Amino acid sequence: AQKVTQAQTEISVVEKEDVTLDCVYETRDTTYYLFWYKQPPSGELVFLIRRNSFDEQNEISGRYSWNFQKSTSSFNFTITASQVVDSAVYFCALSEVIQGAQKLVFGQGTRLTINP
Amino acid sequence: EAQVTQNPRYLITVTGKKLTVTCSQNMNHEYMSWYRQDPGLGLRQIYYSMNVEVTDKGDVPEGYKVSRKEKRNFPLILESPSPNQTSLYFCASSLWEGGTGELFFGEGSRLTVL
């Protein structure tokens, strides 16, 4: 069965530090998609990235970067030079198509606090 | 503006009093889904719909009903709410794209059942 594990329940760092959020997944499929979502204190869920299982290139978007490693079933998220506005709960998710339907499974989330 | 709209955003009700949380999207998305978010459990899927009149159970469907009579609307119905349904609920939609589309979420509906 699908499973996403975010072992870090809470992380607290000082502003400008780099921080990495871990995500490990389990799946028996060869075709799947991985996502990261951000949930700021206001509560909405904001899409950050989607990556398919055939594309292992790392991705960088400004201060955000993602490291996808199929060998370790991990899709880690790094924020460089963190800012207070990065404080949020971050969710990693795995998407598969099972019997013709999209199945999206979320990890438990990591609460990131950036202190001034 | 492309969006998913949920109502109500906040609701306090009592055990057994039927309620409906509405969800509407203006992006002509085929796929819609409901999730509940509980501390330490992340988001869990309640029901989903791949198109009009096509719905199916997610991981935690007990105590909920849904309908999809129009493409844009996907209401969540709690026929007889119980305290264990106190949660934060999210509606989401996406283009089908073979099941890989980015999900767009509503702002969430916080429900308290006393």
pLDDT in tens, B95-106: 866 656 788 999
Chain A CB contacts of B107 below 8 Å: 43-44
Maximum distance among all Cα pairs of chain B, rounded to whole angstroms: 41
Contact A45 B105 (CB under 8 A): yes
Contacts within 8 Å (CB) and 24+ apart, A83-87:
A83/A15, A83/A16, A83/A114, A84/A15, A84/A114, A84/A115, A84/A116, A85/A114, A86/A112, A86/A114, A87/A40, A87/A41, A87/A112, A87/A113, A87/A114
Contact B43 A97 (CB under 8 A): no
pLDDT at B97: 65
Return the number of other C-beta atoms located less than 10 Å from residue B4's C-beta.
24
Contact A108 B42 (CB under 8 A): yes
Give me the residues paired with residue A64 across strands. Answer: A61, A79
Structural contact between residues B21 and B9, judged by C-beta atoms closer than 8 angstroms: no
Contact B42 A102 (CB under 8 A): no
CA-wise closest residue to B51 among B75, B69, B77: B69
What is the residue-averaged pLDDT of chain B? 92
List residues of chain B with CB under 8 Å from any CB of chain A.
31, 33, 35, 40-45, 48, 50, 56, 88, 90, 92, 94, 96, 98-105, 107-108
Amino acid at A80: T
pLDDT at A58: 85
CB pairs under 8 A between A and B: 62
CA B27 to the chain's CA centroid: 16
How confident is the prediction along chain A (116 residues), in pLDDT tens digits per residue? 789 999 999 999 999 999 999 999 999 888 888 999 999 999 999 999 999 888 888 888 899 999 999 999 999 999 999 999 999 999 999 987 777 667 788 999 999 999 99
Contact A96 B43 (CB under 8 A): no
